[in-house]
Every structure is written in C-alpha cells, then in structure tokens.
Amino acid sequence: MKFCSQCGGLLTIQVPAGDSRPRHVCAHCGEIHYRNPKLVVGCVATWEERILLCRRAIEPRHGFWTLPAGFMENGESTAEAATRETLEEACARIEIEALSSLISVPHYDQVHLFYRARLLDPHIGAGPESLESVLIREEDIPWSEIAFQSVSFALRAFLADRAAGSFGLHEHSLPPPATT
C-alpha cells in the first residue's frame, strides 16, 4: 500500500491523533487507510456418514485437500458465504446447521469460520478452483495432504463432536508457523 485510494497521493506511516498504532495516512488528503483481518468462511458438509472434501486447483497448496471455504464477500452473511463457497468449489447444495469452528490466524490477519452443514443431495462436482471433490469416509481422510492447519482443526473438531454425539463451537488461535 503506497498510494491513497481516494486521491492518489503518497501514503506515509504515522500514528494518527487519538490512535496508538501506526497507520497508512495520506500526506495529501489526510485519509487514514486501516487494514483489518479478513474472514474465510467454509463448512464441514456431510452426506450420510461421508464428508465433502475438495482438492485445490489453485495456489497456495495446489493439489492438497481442503474443506470448501473462501473469503467472505461484502453484502452477505457468514452462513451465505459458506453456502456460496460450497456451491462454487464443490457444486454442492447445503443446508447450514451451526457454527462448528472459529479459528484466529493472527500471522495471516485472518479469521476462519467453519459451519457444520448437511448436503441436500449427493451430487457434487469440481468448480474452477477445485481439481476434484469427494465424499469421503472418516477412515479415508488423507490427513498428511490437508491444505491448511485450520482445515485439519475444523475436521478433527467435527469428528470428535460426531463421535461424542454432541456438537458445539470449537475455538482456536493458530500459532505462527515454526521457523527452522
């Protein structure tokens, strides 16, 4: 971020009056440009005992497996975002049940939400961002090929709840990646 999106002027980094953090402030018009975390919303969708997974056709983590999920858009609710992403990535129609996982990812400035959901029918497919979609049994989940830590967390939380016969909200904050 170098230029003001309002006037095209050069941005400076300074702490505005009454604030405690450095911000991008326009040297020309004074506009303060805040940067805030983004929401990624998806779901753990099931048909009978099987779980919907998609294999990624895009970077990052091309070829790895994920739950359908993506950046929430303006003008929608979190449940609508999960429903839309599932349709776009897995061509699958779902009914949202309840929020299952809330995972903060501070080092990427993101918050990930995963809903528990029920497929309305077993027809699935591969949207433009997926190589393939599958309905997979718990014992066949390719744990070593899951794309993201938050997806593994959401899957394990769902499976633990299902085994216990009681569903709740699971919260987690991911630590930064290990630097070796």
Write the Ramachandran bin of 42: left for phi over 0, alpha for psi from -120 to 50, otherwise beta. beta
Check binding of 14 to Zn ion (CB under 5 A).
no
Asked whether the beta carbons of 1 and 33 are under 8 A apart, the reply is: yes
Q: Pick from its own copies, Zn ion, none: which does 28 bind, CB < 5 to 8 A by kind?
A: Zn ion
Check binding of 29 to Zn ion (CB under 5 A).
yes
* Closest to its own copies by CB, 66 or 101: 101
Q: Pick from Zn ion, its own copies, none: which does 132 bind, CB < 5 to 8 A by kind?
A: none
Task: Write out the binding residues for its own copies, residues 27-66 only, by CB under 8 A.
Answer: 33-39
Q: Determine the interface stretch with Zn ion among 9-17, 75-83, 89-97, 154-162 (rule: CB under 5 A).
A: 9-17
Taking the CA atoms of the chain, what radius of gyration do you get in angstroms? 19
Task: Write out the binding residues for its own copies, residues 117-156 only, by CB under 8 A.
Answer: 128
Is 133 exposed, middle or buried, given 0-12, 13-18 or 19+ CB atoms closer than 10 A?
A: buried
Options 49, 73, 95, 138; binder of its own copies; rule CB under 8 A: 73
Options 71, 137, 142, 145; binder of its own copies; rule CB under 8 A: 71
The token pair that represents 80 in the structure block: 């609508």
Check binding of 28 to Zn ion (CB under 5 A).
yes
**Of residues 107, 135, 100, 111, the one with CA closest to residue 121:** 135
**Of residues 114, 119, 97, 98, the one with CA closest to residue 149:** 114
Check binding of 31 to Zn ion (CB under 5 A).
yes
Q: In the structure, how many helices (H) and strands (E) does the chain have?
A: 2, 11
Check binding of 25 to Zn ion (CB under 5 A).
no
Check binding of 18 to its own copies (CB under 8 A).
yes
Which residues are near Zn ion by CB under 5 A? Answer: 4, 6-7, 9, 26, 28-29, 31
